[in-house]
Copies of this chain bind each other. A is one copy, B any other.
Amino acid sequence: MTTGLPFDDFRNLMRELPARDEAAAAKVRTQFQQMRKPAGSLGRIEEIAEWLAAWTGRPPAVTRPLVAIFAGNHGVARHNISPRQQDATAEMVESCAAGGAAINQICVAYDLGLKVFDLALHLPTADITQEAALDERGCAATMAFGMEAIAGGADLIAIGDLGVGNSTVAAAILAALYGGSGKDWVGPGSGAGPDMIARKAAAVDAALALHGRNLKDPFEVLRRVGGREFAAIAGAILAARMQKVAIVLDGFAALAAAAVLHAVNPAALDHCLVAHVSTEPGHAKVIERLGLDPVLDLKLAHGEATGAGLAVGIVKAAALVHSGMAATL
C-alpha cells in the first residue's frame, strides 16, 4: 500500500531529532539555585524557564511569540457528527481574521502574533469511513506546508486548530495509535449530545474497520484517518524542533497530531509544553498517554488555540521571572 517515498524525508528527520541543550538548561537551574529564595519555590515557573532554555539553546526569552492555527475540513462531517455545519470552519477563520474571535483578544492581552492557515477548506478530506482522508503525496505536502508555516523568526509557537468534525478525526487517530474503540475516544467536542456522540463513535469504528490493517505505521494513521490540520500541525511541531523553537500545544486535535509524531519517536515532543487540559475527555487521556503535564485547567472546550494562548502568557512570565531575577545576581 505504502510507496514509502513522500514520507521518507519525514521518517529520516524523525530519526535525527536535536537533543536538549543541557548546558543552557543547567545554567538556568544554577541561576535559580543562586537566587535568594527557597529552593524550587517558583515550581513550574522555574521548570518552564529551564525547558525554554533547553529547547531554544538560549537564555529563556519570549520576544516574538506566535499563535499558529491550522484549519481543515473533513469529509467525515457528512455523518452529522458536529453541531456545526462545515461552513463554520471558514466562518471561524474569518472571525479570527476580523479580530472578533476569543484568540484575538488573548493575543492582545499578551502581545502575541497570530497566523491562521486555511488548509483548502473548500476541499474537505475524503470521508475516513469510506477511504483514506488524504493520499500520501497530499499528506506529505501538507506536513511540508506546516513546516514552512512556522518560519519567520518566532521564538515560541502556540499551536491550535479549527475544523468542524475534527474531534471525531482526533478520536480516530488516537484509537488507531493506542487501541480502544470509538466510544473510548470521542466526546462532546463543540457540543454534541448523546446521539451525536454515538454517531461519532460509530464513524471512528467504521474508519478503524476499513483501515485497520494499514494503521501500523503512524504516518499511515495520519493520512488515512487524519486530516490536513493534523498533518500541518505534525509538520510544524517537527520543524520547530529542527529550528530550536519551543512549542505550546493546545487542544484535542493538536494533541492527536502530536501523538502521531510521538508514536514514531517517543522523544519527538520533548520540546512541547501542553497548554491545558480541556473538558473533552479524550484530551486528558492523550495527555496522560504522552506523559505530559498541562500548565492550565480552565475548563475550556473552545479550540482555536485559546488554551495555548493563555499558557503563553505564563511562559512569557516565566522567562521574565528568570531573566529579571538573574540580572540581580
Q: Which of A's residues lie within 8 Å of B, judged by CB?
A: 36-45, 83, 91, 95, 98-102, 104-106, 108-110, 190-191, 279, 295-303, 306, 309-310, 313-314, 316-317, 320-321, 323-325, 327-328
Given A108-B324, A110-B313, 16 more contacts at CB 8 Å?
A: A36-B91, A36-B95, A41-B191, A41-B303, A43-B298, A44-B300, A45-B310, A100-B328, A101-B325, A105-B317, A105-B321, A106-B321, A109-B313, A109-B316, A110-B317, A313-B313
**Residues of B contacting A110 in the complex (Cβ-Cβ under 8 angstroms):** 313, 317
20 residue pairs bridging A and B, Cβ less than 8 Å apart: A36-B91, A41-B191, A41-B301, A41-B302, A42-B300, A42-B302, A43-B299, A43-B301, A95-B328, A98-B328, A100-B328, A101-B325, A105-B325, A106-B320, A109-B313, A109-B316, A109-B321, A295-B298, A309-B317, A313-B313
**Residues of B contacting A109 in the complex (Cβ-Cβ under 8 angstroms):** 313, 316-317, 320-321
Other-chain contact of A321, B40, B41, B102, B295 (Cβ < 8 Å): B102
Please state if B325 and A40 are interface contacts (CB–CB under 8 Å). Answer: no
A320 to B110, CA, bound (A): 11
Please state if A40 and B301 are interface contacts (CB–CB under 8 Å). Answer: yes
Asked whether A37 and B328 contact (CB < 8 A) given A45-B300, A317-B313, the answer is: no
Other-chain contact of A38, B39, B302, B323 (Cβ < 8 Å): B302
**Residues of B contacting A91 in the complex (Cβ-Cβ under 8 angstroms):** 36
Most buried by B among A37, A106, A320, A323: A37
A302 to B95, CA, bound (A): 40
Nearest to A298 among chain B residues (CB) is: B44
Please state if A38 and B328 are interface contacts (CB–CB under 8 Å). Answer: no
Please state if B102 and A37 are interface contacts (CB–CB under 8 Å). Answer: yes
**Residues of B contacting A302 in the complex (Cβ-Cβ under 8 angstroms):** 37-38, 41-43
Please state if B42 and A106 are interface contacts (CB–CB under 8 Å). Answer: no
Please state if A301 and B38 are interface contacts (CB–CB under 8 Å). Answer: yes
Asked whether A100 and B324 contact (CB < 8 A) given A95-B36, A298-B314, A316-B109, the answer is: yes
A107 CB, nearest partner CB in chain B, Å? 9
**Residues of B contacting A303 in the complex (Cβ-Cβ under 8 angstroms):** 41
A88 to B317, CA, bound (A): 25
Nearest to A279 among chain B residues (CB) is: B43
